[in-house]
Structure 1
Amino acid sequence: MNLDDYYQLGSIVKPHGLRGLMVAFLDVDDLDAYRKVKSVLLALPTAPDKLVPYAVERIQPQTEDRVLLKLKGIDTIEAAEPLRNAILYRALAELPELDEDQFYFHDVIGFTVVDEQLGELGVVEAFYEMTQQDLMAMRYKGVEVLIPVVDELVSHADEDEKKLYVTLPDGLLDVYLTPASRERDEPDEFEKP
């Protein structure tokens, strides 16, 4: 199985009780959309590049990002313990449908970033999921620029044109183009005497 065909749903935190239940963290916006999931794939800490399929018996939300997870065939604490810290995956094709103006991060990698005032700026290279907010990385004039992924700045994506439309605040690009930031991204050049 190729990991590029799957998305990371979350991870198993620890066993819960004696009958094979596990506490799992799910990195999703809406836990209810995942209550009826029938299967997951696990990448075990001992074999992170190998995905093992498991049928899901039950997902029971506990907090906004934690669930009790019961996998078929995992019926004891001894069977659950080796799954501690396993990463949960699902097929990209099984992602829930989004509203028209929404997009998944992986869908817009490689899209051209277009600002309403400045026009085309660069290409989306990556996303960084941070505790406070997510950041989109693009290369602009040879420098990596990070743009907060918030509705006020990122308006929509056009799949047909492969463009992501933004409204950047005045001065955001200038922060990255100061001499100090350019020196970090540019290789050292040596002057001849």
Structure 2
Amino acid sequence: MIRTIQDLLNERVAIGKIVNTHGLKGEVKFFPYTNSEEIVKNLSSVVLYNSEKKAFYNLTVESVRRMNKLFLIRFKSIDTIEAAERIKGCEVFIKYEELPKLSEDEYYFYEILDCDVFYESGENVGKVVDIIETGSNDVLVVRKKKKETLIPMTKDCIVEIDKGAKKIIAKEMEWI
């Protein structure tokens, strides 16, 4: 049973946020953090967390449908706009095991964030604090103290990713 935010983060991953209500019968608008429609469409049992109220809600998903860039979700025990209003702003968490398996060269952002990054020489570049999606490839935002380094996630720049050890080895690029 989840009692603290640490329990939640150890067992589950955030996949999106409830941003508003929709209609009068308890449906909510859901903004996904993932670009995988499969993850959202297959939701069944979720934990919602409201960081302002420090409240957890264990809910069962009744239906999911797409609405432009958002999804509309109906939960079994939420059937009025007032009930839906109470979960507005909550992040939605699923178990890590419920994420689709990836090939070896693919990753989820949570696996890369907070990784230590080193150049091949052994120099510590810093920690991954953000990932920018550019369309052609992702770019790591690596921070050490107040210095930020941007490293493209390409085969030319990344030598090795050890997700288990939270460590990335990158080539030191000489920019012209």
TM-score (norm. length: structure 1):
0.69
Give the Å deviation of 1:94. Answer: 2.5
1:29-178 aligned at under 5 Å gives the runs 29-48=35-54, 50-64=55-69, 66-108=70-112, 109-115=114-120, 119-122=121-124, 125-129=127-131, 135-139=140-144, 144-151=147-154, 153-154=157-158, 156-159=160-163, 163-171=167-175
Task: Name the SS for the 1:32 alignment partner.
Answer: helix
TM-score (norm. length: structure 2):
0.75
- Larger Cα Rg: Structure 1 or Structure 2? 1
Give the Å deviation of 1:57. Answer: 0.8
Is the Cα contact below 8 Å between 2:117 and 2:126 reproduced in 1? yes
- Number of residue equivalences: 165
Task: Name the SS for the 1:3 alignment partner.
Answer: helix
**Percent identity, aligned pairs only?**
22
Any unmatched runs of 5+ in structure 1? Answer: 173-193
Give the letter aligned to residue 68 of structure 2: T
Is the Cα contact below 8 Å between 1:114 and 1:163 reproduced in 2? no
Give the Å deviation of 1:155. Answer: 5.7
Measured in 1, the distance between the counterparts of 2:33 and 2:164 equals: 28
* Residues 45-92 of structure 1, C-alpha deviations (whole Å, 9 max, x = no match): 5423x422110111212234x100111111111211111111111223
Any unmatched runs of 5+ in structure 2? Answer: none
Give the Å deviation of 1:130. Answer: 5.4
Give the letter aligned to residue 24 of structure 1: F
Give the letter aligned to residue 147 of structure 1: L
